[in-house]
Chains A and B, each alone.
Chain A
Amino acid sequence: MIEQLEKPFSEDDSLAVLNRYVRDWFSRNFEELTPPQRFSFKLISQGSNTLITAPTGSGKTMSGFLSIISRLFDYSLEGRLEERVYCVYISPLRSLNNDIFRNLTRPLDEIYGEIVKEKGVEVIKNNIQKVSIGVRTGDTTQQERRQQLAHPPNILVTTPESLAIMINSKRFVEHLKGMEFVLIDELHELAGNKRGVHLSLSIERLEEMIGRPVTRIGLGATLYPLDEAARFLVGTKDGRERDCKMVDASWQKKLDVTASSPVKDLIYTDGDAIEESLYKRIDSTIRANRTTLVFTNTRSGTERVIFNLKKRFGYGEEIAAHHSSLSRESRMEVEDLLKKGSLKCAVTSTSLELGVDIGSIDEVIQLGSPKSVTRAIQRIGRAGHSYKETAKGLVIALDRDDLVECAVMLDAARKRHLDSFSVPKNALDVLAQHIIGMSLTQKWDVDKAFEVVRRAYPYNTLDRHDFNALIEYLAGNYVGLESRRVYGKIWYDEKERTFGKRGALAQAIYMLNLGTIPDEVAVGVFKDKKWVGNIEEEFLARLKPGDIFTLGGRLYRFEYSKGMKCYVGDAKTSEPTIPPWYSEQLPLSFELANEIGEFRSRLSAALGKERGRAKRGGANDKAFALLDDMPVDANAKAAIRDYFTEQLSYAGVVPDNRLMLVEETQDLEKGTTLLVFHSLYGRRVNDALSRAFAIEIGETLDADVGMVVSDNGFVLDLGENALTKRQLEAAMDGLASANIATMLRHNIRKTEMMKRRFRHVAARGFMILRNYKGYKISVGKQQLNSQLLLKAVEEMDQNFPILKETYREILNDVLDLPRAQEVLAMIRKKEIRYRFIRTDVPSPFSHKMITFGHADVIMMKSRHQYLQRLHKSVMEQIGG
């Protein structure tokens, strides 16, 4: 049973479970137990599966480890601590692993030191061993690995990928046979993606090999829904959920947050003036604090902020960048400097979001919306290191939609309305890898293997047919008998219903190709036959000849690409046509979009009442009163109020999450008809809805319909055509009862995304090996037409596992088909209403959607002018 504990144990009860030496050490070093520790010491010592959510700096790691350390010193004092692994600690980050190693080495040394001091020569006589700890990641050298195989550490600190490799080594598994605890840190970074899915299977396989249950401990800073995270952590046995105790200690850290606009008027203030004001604001915050951490949403933004701070205010070495494109050494240097307190300010994109120890931060500045409440809490939670302190955060937005979004987000953060995560279910590519892995260590009965796989929560609803299809595929049964020797990755005996390892090289091939992170295929960029840098494959897919893009601070003109090489020339203009963050932008979450919807409806109601009262000569304070309760500064308050007033005066309606506004208008530059859907369900849902509407309306009009998806809705470009109200109603009715899953499958079949994702899934599912007998390949390099490859696979079998998984991944993980279906069902049931309006000039709330689907706050000048033009046209009409 999964249950949440509300009442902590007393301090005495908690400490009583600890070994004397461990307890003394703890009391010497800490004044009191932190909230998560009041639950965890006792729970873990009882061997309960335990899930703890608590903010960074709340002694979370110690809460997970201390009972384990205590247990190990018990063994040690009894003279029975052996040279084998008792506890496996897994975190998604290597840097976090190194931190944990450092942070545990000291207590282990000190506790053992006390024991030695007290026991003296008895230590040798009674074989009282020191509890050892070791790290094993991709960075671990061969020599260290050999050392670990000879002398395994008692506590093994590792990553999901390294664990997956270890469990396929028979010799290493021997050392794991006595394992009692598995501890997964930063669970929120794993539970919602394929890395976590991969890990969940590794743990079930490991437990099966060990032959008895292991105590599972999960730690996370922000986990919602908590019970879903618990299910992910513990999985099932014999069709029933394993027991788990959940502890929510995440309410402890207070937030002091403000959404801010650098200027009063975000529309007509000159771009340079906005920037000026923005950087002044950052500068004064840095000066007011000892240490400030600045988050941008993109790597390019990080560089730009550093550059501007240095140029404008003469900063030097006391500010530094930290992002994933930098070398490991320079990142670690920045982390060290932060810890020592010798940096005034670090600017980062995502790389400092997780629990890497960076010492004490006074204030966090976030530039632009981080797009999810959870991420906002995580980032701002880096400020005020101890859990008792208040985390201070400033979020600066540079356009009005962003401002509303940030205000609502911070309000939700204060109320702890988190975004939910969802676990990818029944991912066939990850499972394919594990089936091969399983075959390496033993011969398997198919039914037994199926049963073990279904214990992992991401597979507890796995369909037997899908499992069988995978076995058939891996056994090479999709090709003729004579080629099976080449294609087959496992052998499968249909009569005996068993499978096992095929070929002497299977082990080596498996180890080289294992993992879920797709090869970020780097495309070399060449100018005059000289290499100038790399871009991502995804970025290349967006480029057309003549496009201008930035690379390493310089502008290039795209000419053509061949295979994985991209050829460029000099750019003669000064503005890029494709922004560099194009593939980096984060999508707005479903929950936050809904909160924005709620806020819109509240504020527009207040404004409506105000107007009524103004006519009767009453006071105008409703809307301001509402905004007073929001975490916004004075500039932001004025800007938000103006924004809503303009929308209401011009369009007569403010769309929200219960009212979808469909606005037929025109593109002021091209003169084409635009259909703007104000749809507040998050970008992934909008991505699905926009495709469905584009297909439906395209069929109605018998024309091609262009589309742009954004966070607050989507825009369909109807060209010369127009849509009548009746046609829209027919399309709404049609979609509300249509099978949009089939429609979307058909639609995405032809996209670049399908080709790219298919290649990733094919690589993960070992259909295309990235490393094979000395070949290092990608389909792209082979100049293979993925369109034709897809067609060939479809002709072979429409339900080929790799194909099936590609569709599942796109529809459920990239788009949000389930929620898009929910929204359509709500439209059918009239729980969501829609209204059709026509405007000569796009209404204010559609401006951002029209000017650009994606936007970055750091680079916005070129878009600004068009926005001003749109706004001016609106204001002329409402006489503002």
Chain B
Amino acid sequence: MILNDEVELVEGEPIAYIRPLKALVMADLHLGYEAAMAKRGMLLPHANLKSILSSIENASSVREVTTLIVNGDIKNDFSTVGQAESNELYDFCSRANALGMGLVLIKGNHDNFIERYREAFRFEVHRQEARIGDFLFFHGEEMPGSLGKLMVMGHEHPAIGIYDAAGRLEKLKCFLYGRYKGGNLLVLPAMNYFSSGTAVNIEPKGSLLSPLLRNAGVESMEAIALGYGSTLAFGKVRELRRIAAARHAGRRG
């Protein structure tokens, strides 16, 4: 889906393509997730890395990509870099390099100690945010230090919740797209396979994670959802909130 002259959302994937930079941008991969869960007593099948790599290949197959920007939370464990994490990091970085992509990482709140791997895995690390051309990339846990023509963030794991006829809540990961202080703001959905995300049209604004989204008026942002292999604009968050709340009114008590 074409967002504007410069930005395209890769069909069915939680990835944006920035044409002038020849860059793919994604956020919240949480590599090492299954191993971290196993330490807490949950056996999850390994699915995250596999799905991320296939998304990247899918996105780069028909586009010219020289850079892969990870907008925070490439890994999961706060306190260390675990064995499984570093294995997955290695696989991830070598695949990106093999596809001819340079790696740029903006640190997220999960990315402690990531610098250790900068040399070995050949990636560029930015502590708070990175400005590349007119574009500002930041993770989103804190307010950005500056503004840009397009500001891209992650962290929130946005999704929308839709109730079907049987009253079942279905969550779809989504991009959020709107204006912020004279520029455009794009919020990326989580790359992580297991993350279902926060339904921004159901939960109250106050409960959002990112300070910027709490201030920015998420209600007037456009929700662009992905699922079942495609990417579709669902309209403004405000409208989706109204629909979710009115869903019950149509049926008999």
Give chain A residues whose Cβ lies under 8 Å from the Cβ of B253. 575, 577, 862
Given contacts A788-B194, A792-B47, A795-B47, contact A775 B41 (CB under 8 A): yes
B73-107 contacts to A, CB under 8 A, are 83-84, 87
Given contacts A482-B87, A545-B202, A795-B47, contact A487 B38 (CB under 8 A): yes
Shortest Cβ distance from B123 into chain A, in angstroms?
24
Pick from B35, B163, B165, B252: contact of A483, CB below 8 A. B35
Please determine whether B248 and A782 come into contact, CB atoms closer than 8 angstroms. no
Please determine whether A767 and B43 come into contact, CB atoms closer than 8 angstroms. yes
A546 within 8 A of B: yes
A551 within 8 A of B: no
Pick from B41, B165, B203, B252: contact of A560, CB below 8 A. B203
**In the complex, what distance in Å separates the CA atom of A383 from the CA atom of B232?**
65
Please determine whether A769 and B41 come into contact, CB atoms closer than 8 angstroms. yes
Please determine whether B84 and A777 come into contact, CB atoms closer than 8 angstroms. no
B229 within 8 A of A: no
Please determine whether A793 and B45 come into contact, CB atoms closer than 8 angstroms. yes
Q: Kindly report which residue of chain B lies nearest to residue A548, judged by CB atoms.
A: B253
B21 within 8 A of A: no
Please determine whether B41 and A773 come into contact, CB atoms closer than 8 angstroms. yes
B167 within 8 A of A: yes
Give chain B residues whose Cβ lies under 8 Å from the Cβ of A771. 41
Q: Kindly report which residue of chain B lies nearest to residue A797, judged by CB atoms.
A: B45
B114 within 8 A of A: no
B129-166 contacts to A, CB under 8 A, are 163, 165-166
Give chain B residues whose Cβ lies under 8 Å from the Cβ of A669. 252
Q: Kindly report which residue of chain A lies nearest to residue B168, judged by CB atoms.
A: A752
Interface extent on A, as a size class?
A: 35 or more
Please determine whether B40 and A544 come into contact, CB atoms closer than 8 angstroms. no
Pick from B35, B83, B167, B198: contact of A542, CB below 8 A. B167
Interface of A is mostly: mixed
Please determine whether B252 and A782 come into contact, CB atoms closer than 8 angstroms. no
Please indicate which of the listed interface residues A486, A547, A791 has the most CB atoms of chain B within 10 Å of its own CB. Answer: A486
Pick from B37, B39, B249: contact of A782, CB below 8 A. B37
A616 within 8 A of B: no
Shortest Cβ distance from B33 into chain A, in angstroms?
10
Give chain A residues whose Cβ lies under 8 Å from the Cβ of B198. 562
A744 within 8 A of B: no
Pick from A478, A544, A768: contact of B247, CB below 8 A. A544
Q: Kindly report which residue of chain B lies nearest to residue A577, judged by CB atoms.
A: B253
B62 within 8 A of A: no
Shortest Cβ distance from A556 into chain B, in angstroms?
14
A568-586 contacts to B, CB under 8 A, are 575, 577
Chain A window 772-802, contacts with chain B (Cβ cutoff 8 Å), 1 for yes, 0 for no: 1101010100111101110111011000000
**In the complex, what distance in Å separates the CA atom of A706 from the CA atom of B199?**
26
Q: Kindly report which residue of chain A lies nearest to residue B38, judged by CB atoms.
A: A486
A121 within 8 A of B: no
Please determine whether A546 and B249 come into contact, CB atoms closer than 8 angstroms. yes
A497 within 8 A of B: no
Chain B window 32-52, contacts with chain A (Cβ cutoff 8 Å), 1 for yes, 0 for no: 000101111111111100000
Shortest Cβ distance from A569 into chain B, in angstroms?
11
Please determine whether B46 and A772 come into contact, CB atoms closer than 8 angstroms. no
Give chain A residues whose Cβ lies under 8 Å from the Cβ of B83. 482
B193 within 8 A of A: yes
Please determine whether A546 and B38 come into contact, CB atoms closer than 8 angstroms. no
Give chain B residues whose Cβ lies under 8 Å from the Cβ of A125. none
Q: Kindly report which residue of chain A lies nearest to residue B195, judged by CB atoms.
A: A785
Give chain A residues whose Cβ lies under 8 Å from the Cβ of B46. 479-480, 796
**In the complex, what distance in Å separates the CA atom of A542 from the CA atom of B247?**
13
Pick from B43, B163, B204, B249: contact of A487, CB below 8 A. B43
Given contacts A575-B253, A785-B196, contact A792 B202 (CB under 8 A): no
**In the complex, what distance in Å separates the CA atom of A545 from the CA atom of B196?**
19
Please determine whether A706 and B195 come into contact, CB atoms closer than 8 angstroms. no
B211-253 contacts to A, CB under 8 A, are 244-249, 252-253
Please determine whether B252 and A545 come into contact, CB atoms closer than 8 angstroms. no
Give chain B residues whose Cβ lies under 8 Å from the Cβ of A767. 42-43
Give chain A residues whose Cβ lies under 8 Å from the Cβ of B202. 545, 560
Please indicate which of the listed interface residues A480, A545, A796 has the most CB atoms of chain B within 10 Å of its own CB. Answer: A545
Q: Kindly report which residue of chain A lies nearest to residue B173, judged by CB atoms.
A: A785
Interface extent on B, as a size class?
A: 35 or more
**In the complex, what distance in Å separates the CA atom of A782 from the CA atom of B198?**
12
A464 within 8 A of B: no
B61 within 8 A of A: no
B4 within 8 A of A: no
B19 within 8 A of A: no
Please determine whether B43 and A768 come into contact, CB atoms closer than 8 angstroms. yes
A829 within 8 A of B: no
**In the complex, what distance in Å separates the CA atom of A482 from the CA atom of B39?**
14
A448 within 8 A of B: no
**In the complex, what distance in Å separates the CA atom of A373 from the CA atom of B138?**
66
**In the complex, what distance in Å separates the CA atom of A676 from the CA atom of B159?**
38
A704 within 8 A of B: yes
Please determine whether A546 and B247 come into contact, CB atoms closer than 8 angstroms. yes
Please determine whether A769 and B244 come into contact, CB atoms closer than 8 angstroms. no
Please determine whether B43 and A784 come into contact, CB atoms closer than 8 angstroms. no
B171 within 8 A of A: yes
Pick from B42, B163, B193: contact of A777, CB below 8 A. B42
A670 within 8 A of B: yes
**In the complex, what distance in Å separates the CA atom of A364 from the CA atom of B35?**
57
Chain A window 849-874, contacts with chain B (Cβ cutoff 8 Å), 1 for yes, 0 for no: 00000000000001000000000000
Give chain B residues whose Cβ lies under 8 Å from the Cβ of A560. 199, 202-204
Please determine whether B207 and A562 come into contact, CB atoms closer than 8 angstroms. yes
Given contacts A560-B203, A577-B248, A767-B43, contact A785 B167 (CB under 8 A): no
Q: Kindly report which residue of chain A lies nearest to residue B40, judged by CB atoms.
A: A775
Given contacts A483-B84, A706-B166, A767-B42, contact A544 B37 (CB under 8 A): no
**In the complex, what distance in Å separates the CA atom of A795 from the CA atom of B249?**
39
**In the complex, what distance in Å separates the CA atom of A775 from the CA atom of B171?**
27
Please determine whether B248 and A547 come into contact, CB atoms closer than 8 angstroms. yes
**In the complex, what distance in Å separates the CA atom of A177 from the CA atom of B199?**
58
**In the complex, what distance in Å separates the CA atom of A769 from the CA atom of B37?**
10
Give chain B residues whose Cβ lies under 8 Å from the Cβ of A509. 41
Please determine whether A486 and B39 come into contact, CB atoms closer than 8 angstroms. yes
Please indicate which of the listed interface residues B42, B87, B168, B196 has the most CB atoms of chain A within 10 Å of its own CB. Answer: B42
**In the complex, what distance in Å separates the CA atom of A575 from the CA atom of B47?**
46
Shortest Cβ distance from A167 into chain B, in angstroms?
23
Q: Kindly report which residue of chain B lies nearest to residue A476, judged by CB atoms.
A: B43
**In the complex, what distance in Å separates the CA atom of A796 from the CA atom of B46?**
8
Pick from B45, B163, B171, B195: contact of A795, CB below 8 A. B45
B14-43 contacts to A, CB under 8 A, are 35, 37-43
Pick from B163, B194, B195, B252: contact of A544, CB below 8 A. B163
Give chain B residues whose Cβ lies under 8 Å from the Cβ of A752. 168
Given contacts A545-B247, A862-B253, contact A779 B42 (CB under 8 A): yes
Residue pairs across A and B with Cβ atoms less than 8 A apart, 21 shown, are: A479-B45, A479-B46, A482-B84, A482-B87, A509-B41, A542-B167, A545-B244, A546-B248, A546-B249, A560-B202, A560-B204, A562-B198, A769-B41, A777-B42, A783-B195, A785-B171, A785-B196, A788-B193, A788-B194, A792-B44, A796-B45
Known: A546-B246, A562-B198, A796-B46. 6 other contacts (CB 8 A): A545-B202, A560-B202, A777-B41, A788-B193, A788-B196, A789-B44
Top 5 nearest A-B pairs (CB, nearest first) are A772-B41, A769-B41, A785-B196, A792-B47, A546-B248
Question: Which residues on A are within 8 Å of B, measured CB to CB?
Answer: 478-480, 482-483, 486-487, 509, 542, 544-547, 559-560, 562, 567, 575, 577, 669-670, 704, 706, 751-752, 767-773, 775, 777, 779, 782-785, 787-789, 791-793, 795-796, 862
